[in-house]
Amino acid sequence: MARDGEDAGMVKAAKVKRQRKKKTKENKTRTVHANILYDNAKGEENPNRHYANNKIKTTKYTLLSFLPKNLFEQFHRFANVYFVFIALLNFVPVVNAFQPELALAPVVFILSVTAIKDLWEDYRRHRSDKEINHMDCLVYSRVERRYVEKYWKEVRVGDFIRLRCNEILPADVLLLTSSDPDRLCHIETATLDGETNLKQRQVVRSFFDLDCDFDPTKYNSIIECEKPNNDLNRFRGYIIHRSGRRDALYKENLLLRGCTIRNTEEAVGIVIYAGHETKAMLNNNGPRYKRSKLERQMNVDVFWCVIILLVMCLFAAVGHGLWMFQYGDKRPVFDVLSPEGTDLSPIMSAIYLFLTMIIVFQVLIPISLFVSIEIVKICQVFFIHQDMDLYDEETDSHLQCRALNITEDLGQMQYIFSDKTGTLTENKMVFRRCTVAGVEYSHDANARRLAMYQEMDSEEEECTSHGGTLPRRDSVTSHQSARVVLRSQSTKSHRRTGSRAEAKRASILSKHTAFSSPMEKDITPDPQLLDKVNECSSQMDFMRFHSQPMSQLPSDLSDIIDFFIALTICNTVVVSSPNQPRQKVKLSEGYAPPLKSPVKTIEDFIKRFTPSRLTSGSNSSSSSSLITNRSSNRGCSSILSSPSAEKLRYEAESPDEAALVYAARAYKCSLVGRLPDQVTVELPHLGKLSFELLHTLGFDSTRKRMSVVVRHPLTDQITVYTKGADSVIMDLIKPPNTGENSHSVCFIVYRTQNYLNLYAADGLRTLCIAKKVLTKEEYACWLQRHLEAETAIQGREELLFESALRLETNLHLLGATGIEDRLQDGVPETIASLRKAGLQIWVLTGDKQETAVNIAYACKLLEPEEEILTLNADSQVNDTGHCFINENDYSADHIYPSSSPSSSSVPFMVHRLGLVIDGRTLAYALDKSLEDKFLAVARSCRSVLCCRSTPLQKSMVVKLVRNKLKVMTLAIGDGANDVSMIQVADVGVGISGQEGMQAVMASDFALPRFRYLQKLLLVHGHWCYSRLANMILYFFYKNAVTLIFWYQFYCGFSGSAMIDQWYLIFFNLMFSAFPQLITGTLDKDVSAETLQQLPQLYISGQNSEEYKPYMFWMNMIDAFYQSLVCFFIPYFAYADSDVDLFTWGTPITTLALFTILLHLGIETKTWTWMNWLSISFSIALFFTVALCYNASCPTCYSPSNPYWTMQRLLQDPLFYFLCVITPVTALLPRYFYRACQGTLFPSPVQVGRQLDKLPAETRRNILSLSRTKYVNHIEQAKHHYHNLFVFQPYINVPDTITVMGHRQPLECNLVLLVFYVKVFWILGLV
Amino acid sequence: MIAAMMASSYNAKEEDGHHSGSSSHGGAGAVKSKKPDNTAFKQQRLPAWQPILTAGTVLPAFFVIGLIFIPIGIGLYVTSNNIKEFEVDYTGVDINSPCYSCAKNFSWNSTQSCVCSVNFTLEQPFESNVFMYYGLSNFYQNHRRYVKSRDDSQLNGDLSALMNPSKECEPYRTNDGLPIAPCGAIANSLFNDTLDLYYVDSNSTKTPIPLAKKGIAWWTDKHVKFRNPSGNTNLTVTFQGTTKPVNWRKPVYELDPSEADNNGFINEDFIVWMRTAALPTFRKLYRIIQKKSGTTPTLPSGRYILDITYNYPVLSFDGRKRMILSTISWMGGKNPFLGIAYITVGSICFFLGVVLLIIHHKYDTRNNSADIPN
């Protein structure tokens, strides 16, 4: 840390303190001085000079370092090193097989393709860096004594910068002053976390009292804060003033780079972190690299290829040694001495030859495989991106693939771990009903209204599917669109390349979010409750008027009004008017505290309202209605200027908060303003009431509640309003003392608990509202310790937590609310079909058990006929262990009923078990000693539901299943609490919903809606997997066609090749490369419709049926056979003739190409014009290259010198006869096998393809049949013929036919029925 | 070809490619929507032919292959059988062989040439042009280092390469400090037996048979690849400063004493030798016996004498030397293999076709179901 250049004029006390700290906290803090104290920002004197400046450079390379650095990176890949090694081996004269320069070609080609790709990416990064670095901002200049425009890159730590509305923050800035009368600054953090609601930031406390004109020259404090870190939600430090006073700094004082200033005209701050040390940049990680299961499998086989290669080389080396040995001393004329003229012994020759053979057989290790896989994956990602079915019209977003290299894993999933809220449900919270003081208000009208929306939704959906030109649901008023434009402009100019799309998406999203949808806003009040509210408030008004104490109010009425006040103020909802920037008007109300300072001049006031340059037009009308008697007192109430309360927008961090505020507003109890220390509420009859907000104890997942401490304006009491999960609140309710109304309190609690259970059973989210009145003494006592906690630097969080716990006790229950979180569209269907696809679906949620179970029923995760195992632990550990084991035994009995003959009568009911486990029990279940048993139970259940689980538990469950069961896991979630689970799973899917973007940022794939998972997995996953699996297998096959090996038997194992080295080297790289890429990208084994209608087909991917280890060996054997054919047919055809080496080798090359292409043809399931084109192109390319090459130079290309060879061959009829018979012979076994397989034992996928071919109507019949009636029949049949059916499907045919035929007279064609049976057999396998 | 046989057709239901863009333009409006284009390509709905390999769809292909291959095979076989070929081994391994003594005593170093004669009888007359080959067995002309041991630039008449041959020619690059022309192991091991053929008629008179030594090399080789160093018509001068290959008796410009323009690098025997054989048992065209007139056969049946100037030792590596007389057809020399292969593969295809037919009738019903009227 830069301590040496400290200014002598700095306050001594601060210095002493710091030096004391130096010993303990060396290197843990950063000290920031203001730059204006020093002449030159970079000068020797400046203590800030060691901090990073604001210039960002995300490029990996410079012009000079590109080549070495890129090569170095590429050589981290083992394959590249291997190929370079081989290429270099060619430069050794004793062992070289090819022309050394030529042998470099493939490696150079592969390396340069990758290098060009990297270079392009780096260039794009460079351009965006440059764009960002050259953005403007206002920095205070010491020389000019004013703010001057500077580039972002010139900003330094310690600079004062002035920020204007809608400007993007260039660095992490400590907020020193704001034009906002309340010393607030609103920022939008969408670019950081995707949350579109505005966040408030406060001016540092000690600058609070400063007048509006902040003069940087007078600033002489020192800031000490943490070292740069990437925690967006943490900032700790303190500011030391000249006077020696220290003020704590919070994250509320820090404006983060990348955020946008909103609703605030102007703000000034000092740069704390700049450039790469800003939190935004530290959070900016590149894309993650995962290796897919298929690739892991492939690497094993690559390893096998290496072994085969070594064996072949060894064989050839031994053969060569023996061949040499047989001549003894008599060296034949054709055995040429080595260039050095030395006579090598057979053993030495063999050793050299071993190396030569490694070069010659290098094609066995597929050099282009890795590049091809990358290319194919990029294409697959492109197609997934482009899928219209994965596009969400409502949010104008489509699927994003954030991880590019695990597309094929999507086709192999076995377990899905899903979050509930926001994933299965919409996370659009709608207030449904509530209970206050033990009385339930059912809100029937509201329920009817919601039902209506549902209908409208479905109609719209139809509209979408028909027309496709559905007008957006938004009621875009001019301000909204203006805002969108502003946001997208700002994002465009700043975002990093990778997440630019997200930012834009988020900005568009903001237009459509729940907060503006009328469904959440327009709550129909329950008439009975509305009456009571009215009555209550009029009474209160009366009482206030007559100065009667409020405590005279009947308790139920006061509960009602308190209930709504709690709903209104116990939250962190930000009120904003549609117009921006936020213009505030101060009202002097009668009950406001007395004014502290005189009213300023009108001019001053007007100056403040001078609209910022961005919004000049829009505010002219509103400013006319301003009330001009402004007081500068912060304590007075404020409301937004022109719009009535109806037009206020509530922006909440979680949607249920907004739902409650909207609900309260429906009862005329509306939130009209929120400041850091004050909340203004408008009540009927009472008008605007202003609550002094003393503390906000924010929500956290451990406490599961939040509280606000306010001074009630009517009673002047210190009141705590608490809102939280019912389980925690109910425990905190004050036990009724022996007072007169203890009975009724008990009764109310009992009734409320009943209703809570009822709500939960309806699948509603429940929240309890409670309050507590503090005496002055109690409050003072608590306050003291709370302040201590607040100012502590070490362990502040824990202290605050304890402080909150101390406060939230002995609460008085006001009531409870039921909020509906509606299921997303298509969730039950999606779950049903995913389950049919053999996927195990576990739901891990933080919600309470009843709610979770109900949602599970609603989305068909649990079926009514299922038996549900519920594991709920009580507190004792030992008990739980026992209980758990017992449960285990119990279920084990049920799982294997067939073992006891008596229970065989109900086999199918028992198979359907559902497991529900809560968080506390889960903690025990995840214990090392019990996890195996837990898994055993969980595996036997059809569905598992973990409620009340913490984020950590979620990830532990996923990890457990993944590691213990060795299965492929997919985690899907939408919130920050799902991030750990998403990261742990093989594939993480984020729902880009309403809870911010953390889940999306952590995910590999981001979906707009849960139901898209169906197509993503069943269709794209299946395709990606089967395409890639087939391509990899084909690659292995293609490279294993080693014709040269057979030739070694006829050339004395000398490593000679009859195939020209040019063909040999470019064969895989050029001639046979394109068709497989096309097939690997475009081939569809089954159509998308069939894949979705028959989810069972997904099972083939789960079982890795497209690429099993034996298939590698089958392909190797096939390649072996084909290479034999391709070698020996020309061999015998030219045996003992005057054919020369390359005139014989060229036909072999040609027909190997034909064979390989036709082989691909057999494996290709879908022939589009691109397949035809690519194959024709390959052949044309080969002949063109060959003809040009053979005509080009009569003296070059030593030693082959194939001058005019191809030309002569084309005149030779024998060549054509060879080209016809050899591929046919080579492919005969495979073709025959495929045909037999297609008929005798078709895989489910093949039956799916056959279904594809049927006329649409027949198909529909079969599928509908299979979906409805079939299941029952088959299960009956299964019941009777269980074993027979599975193992000998054809024996069952007659039985099934009679069943079928009986029910379905319209399909009487026996032939067709037999086919049905085949289809059903496949369905029945599930 | 096989693909075309498969009983499938383009999928009719996948033809909505022309919808492309209609909705995407309509919905876009003022705000640019990120909605993907509804094109057949992007939605992976390109019209496609989707063959399903089952017994039913594939069996016509098998029958067709069978039916085409068998006649071709028969044709090839007959053609090959019509070719007349005669072969005589004159290595002299056997003690009764006339060249036994030559073979025994001969080595590369001997200066004295050894002559031996082989008698043979042609049972049938050779009607058309007869190609006379020499054949070598167990001679690995395709050995990796051997194949490389040449300098194409030198052979192409490049003067600098003539005087400074490529390194590839090592260890046959220079001799006694002089560059070898032609350099390299291939040239060094040039086949140098001389074969002369005599017809012995009924009254035991030896009639020499005219053997054409031109036209045995590829035209492109003779005229493009191989060229004498230009500048001087006199080859002796041209090749001054070079030396002959170690194993050679005569320098390259004296290879053919009878014809002046068949010397140097463009000597056709040399060119033929330089085209390295693919397999260790090979033959190389030596001479052509042109048909003289329409009525008399080129080689009538009867007794012949082959006079051999035995220069080329092969016994050290267990090699064999042969002289082959053969007529030629449109598909080259005598080789029944291709015909047999075609017949065999055709029959196998036919047989497999029958197997598939049985399988199809027993199990495969899908094909019929597609024809069911709705």
Asked if the bond preceding A951 is cis, omega within 30° of 0, the reply is: no
Assess whether pLDDT exceeds 90 at residue B284: yes
Mean pLDDT of A992-1017: 81
Put simply, whether A1198 touches B (Cβ < 8 Å) is yes
A21 marked as binding residue = no
Q: What are the Cα distances from residue B21, in Å, to A86, A889, A1074?
A: 50, 61, 29
- In this predicted structure, the answer to whether residue A18 has a pLDDT above a threshold of 70 is no
What's the half-sphere exposure (Cβ side, CA atoms, 13 Å) at A321? 12
Give the mean model confidence (pLDDT) for residues A1137-1155: 93
In whole angstroms, how far apart are CA A330 and each of A327, A350, A351? 6, 18, 21
Q: Which residue of A has its CA nearest to B141?
A: A334
For an interface test with A, the pick among B59, B108, B140 (most A C-beta atoms closer than 10 Å) comes out as B140
How many angstroms separate the CA atoms of A1163 and A1038, rounded?
13
CA angle at A1044 for the pair A1042 and A1047, rounded to the nearest 5° = 130
Q: Taking 80 as the threshold, does the pLDDT of residue A1074 lie above it?
A: yes
Q: Do A1138 and B133 touch (CB under 8 A)?
A: yes
CB atoms within 10 A of CB A101: 11
Is position A17 annotated in a ligand binding site?
Answer: no
pLDDT at A285: 58
More confident residue, B37 or A589: B37
**A55 and A170 Cβ atoms separated by less than 8 Å:** no
Give residue A1073's pLDDT.
87
- Interface with A, mutate which of B5, B134, B155, B279 (most A CBs under 10 A): B279
Q: Determine whether A1291 is exposed, middle or buried from the number of CB atoms within 10 Å of its CB (0-12, 13-18, 19+).
A: exposed
Q: What is the pLDDT of residue A41?
A: 53
Q: What is the pLDDT of residues A889-911, one digit of tens each?
A: 444 444 333 333 333 333 344 45
Tokens of A176: 């020193």
Q: Compare all CA atoms of chain A with the CA of B334 and give the residue at the minimum distance.
A: A1137
The answer to whether residue A852 scores a pLDDT higher than 90 is no
**Per the CB < 8 Å rule, is A1052 touching B140?**
yes
**Predicted confidence (pLDDT) at residue A1242 exceeds the cutoff of 80:** yes
pLDDT value of residue A288: 53
Residue A419 annotated in active site: yes
Query: Residue A746: pLDDT band by 50, 70, 90 thresholds?
Result: confident
Per-residue confidence (pLDDT) for residue A192, from 0 to 100? 66
pLDDT value at A501 more than 70: no
Give A-chain residues touching B338 at CB under 8 angstroms. Answer: 1132-1133, 1214, 1217-1218, 1221
More confidently predicted of A255 and A876? A255
Question: What does the alpha-carbon distance between residue A856 and residue A870 come to, in Å, rounded to a whole number?
Answer: 14
- Which tens digit of pLDDT belongs to each residue from A555-598? 777 788 888 888 888 877 777 665 444 444 333 333 333 333 33
Structure tokens at A1052: 């004395």
How does pLDDT run across A769-787, given as a tens digit for each residue? 888 888 888 888 888 888 8
Question: B77: helix, coil or strand?
Answer: helix
Distance from C-alpha of A113 to C-alpha of B330, rounded to nearest angstrom: 47
Mean pLDDT score across all residues of chain B: 84
A347: pLDDT strictly greater than 60: yes
Non-local CB neighbours of A288 within 8 Å, separated by 6+ positions: A402, A403, A1004
More confident residue, A1046 or A849: A1046
pLDDT in tens, B177-186: 899 989 999 9
Q: pLDDT confidence of A515, banded at 50, 70, 90? A: very low
Mean pLDDT over residues A634-639, rounded? 36
* Residue A444 scores a pLDDT above 80: no
Highest mean pLDDT among A181-190, A209-218, A1048-1057: A1048-1057
Share of chain A above pLDDT 70, in %: 74
User: If DSSP codes are grouped into helix, strand and coil, which group holds residue A664?
Assistant: helix
Residue A496 has pLDDT above 50, yes or no: no
Q: With 70 as the cut, is the pLDDT of residue B72 above it?
A: yes
Judged on CB neighbours under 10 Å (0-12, 13-18, 19+), A1082 is buried
Contact A393 B148 (CB under 8 A): no
pLDDT at A2 over 50: no
pLDDT in tens, A395-426: 778 888 877 778 889 999 999 999 887 788 87
The partner residue sitting opposite B278, judged by closest CB among A356, A1140, A1161, is: A1140
A1009 is in an annotated binding site: no
pLDDT of B61: 93
Q: Interface pTM (ipTM) of the complex?
A: 0.90
Cβ-defined contact of B56 to A1239 (cutoff 8 Å): yes
Residue A213 confidence (pLDDT): 63
Per-residue pLDDT, A740: 57
Whether residue A487 has pLDDT greater than 60: no
* Backbone φ and ψ of A593, nearest 5°: -60, 155
| The pLDDT of residue A481 | 33
Across chain A, what does the average pLDDT equal? 74
CA distance A1140 to chain B (A): 4
Provide the angle, in degrees to the nearest 10, between the axes of the packed helices A100-133 and A478-494. Answer: 130
* CB nearest to A332's CB, from B33, B149, B317: B317
Q: H-helix or E-strand containing A226?
A: strand A222-226
Residue A633 in this model has a pLDDT that exceeds 80: no
For A20-75, the pLDDT digits (tens) are: 444 444 456 788 888 777 766 555 667 777 787 888 887 778 888 888 888 888 88
Is A150 annotated as a binding-site member?
no
Instruction: State the alpha helices, DSSP H only, in A866-925.
Output: 877-895, 907-911, 919-925
CA distances from A1265 to A1068, A1262, A1317, A1323, B373 (A): 48, 5, 11, 11, 19
How many beta-carbon pairs below 8 A join chains A and B? 318
Q: Give yes or no for residue A173 having a pLDDT over 90.
A: no
Q: How confident is the model at residue B289 (pLDDT cuts 50, 70, 90)?
A: very high
Half-sphere exposure of A1139 (CA within 13 A, CB side): 29
Q: Can you give the pLDDT at residue A194?
A: 54
Q: Mind telling me how many Å the CA of A995 is from chain B's nearest CA?
A: 22
The distance of A1101 to chain B (nearest Cα, Å) reads 20
Whether residue A1084 and residue B152 make contact (CB cut-off 8 A), yes or no, is: no
Please name which of A341, A325, A464, A451 lies closest in space to residue A393, comparing C-alpha atoms. Answer: A464
Catalytic residue, candidates A182, A419, A821, A1004: A419
Alpha-carbon span A440 to A754, nearest angstrom:
10
Best to test chain A binding among B366, B367, B372 (most A CBs inside 10 Å): B366
Mapping DSSP onto H, E and C, the string for A300-355 reads HHHHHHHHHHHHHHHHHHHHHHHHHHHHCCCCCCCCCCCCCCCCCCHHHHHHHHHH
The string of pLDDT tens digits covering residues A597-624 is 333 334 443 344 433 333 333 333 333 3
CB contact under 8 A, A1145 and B278: yes
Closest CA to A377 of A1068, A1032, A1100, A1034: A1032
A378-394 pLDDT tens trace: 888 889 988 888 888 87
pLDDT mean over A228-235:
77
Q: How many CB atoms lie within 10 A of CB A1121?
A: 17
Tokens of A525: 């009040």
Q: Is the pLDDT of residue A474 over 80?
A: no
Specify burial of residue A864 (Cβ count, 10 A radius: 0-12, 13-18, 19+): exposed
Is residue A710 helix, strand or coil? Answer: strand
pLDDT value at residue A334: 86
- Closest-CA residue of B relative to A1083 is B44
Note whether A1254 contacts B370, CB cutoff 8 Å. Answer: yes
Closest CA to A524 of A666, A682, A665, A668: A666
pLDDT given at position A1174? 95
Using the Cβ of A489 and the Cβ atoms of chain B, whether some distance falls under 8 Å is answered with no
Q: Is A301 annotated as a binding residue?
A: no
